[in-house]
Amino acid sequence: MRKALIIILVVFTAVMTASCSTDNKEAAMNELRSQQQGTYSGYVFWNVDSDLTTLNKQLLGIVNTDEVMSSLRFSKLNFISMGDTSQKYNYVKMFDIDKSPTLLIFDTEKMILKTNNFEDIYTLANKLKQK
């Protein structure tokens, strides 16, 4: 009887942990997704191996081109340090981010791009233009 109770408790704990983890990811996704239809939100995760000023110039140089602006309108673009422990969620772990820089782009429903190469924004913009 005692073994059965322990097994039930272990299974219950495992199920609850998995459930909370899924809930946390969904809550995090809700905060990261664009809140306005037809716009996108982007987040660059970086660490000390990358120069923030250079990353900012590279990203804005691409995002502000006519090719991208004609099909990909950003409501927000944020830079988040991979070592920032003050974030509400552990995005680095949640999204398996292991390289700097990593760019995540979200529409109003889901993540539509995860890349380490800002040039991939051009491919996404062309893909969205064809829709």
Contact between 3 and 69 (Cβ < 8 Å): no
Cα angle at 69 between 131 and 59, to 5 degrees?
A: 115
Residues in the chain: 131
pLDDT at position 106 over 50: yes
pLDDT digit string (tens) for 35-49?
Answer: 999 999 999 999 988
Would you place residue 20 in the very low, low, confident or very high pLDDT band (cuts 50, 70, 90)?
very low
Say how far apart CA 34 and CA 44 lie, in whole Å: 15
Query: What was the pLDDT predicted at 1?
Result: 64
Residue at token pair 């969205």: 128
Burial of 105 per CB tally in 10 Å (0-12, 13-18, 19+)? buried
Indicate yes or no: pTM above 0.75.
yes
Average pLDDT over residues 8-35: 66
Residue 77's φ and ψ, nearest 5 degrees, are: -135, 115
Task: State the pLDDT confidence band at 16, using cuts at 50, 70 and 90.
Answer: very low
The pLDDT value given to residue 25? 85
Class for the domain spanning 2-129: alpha beta
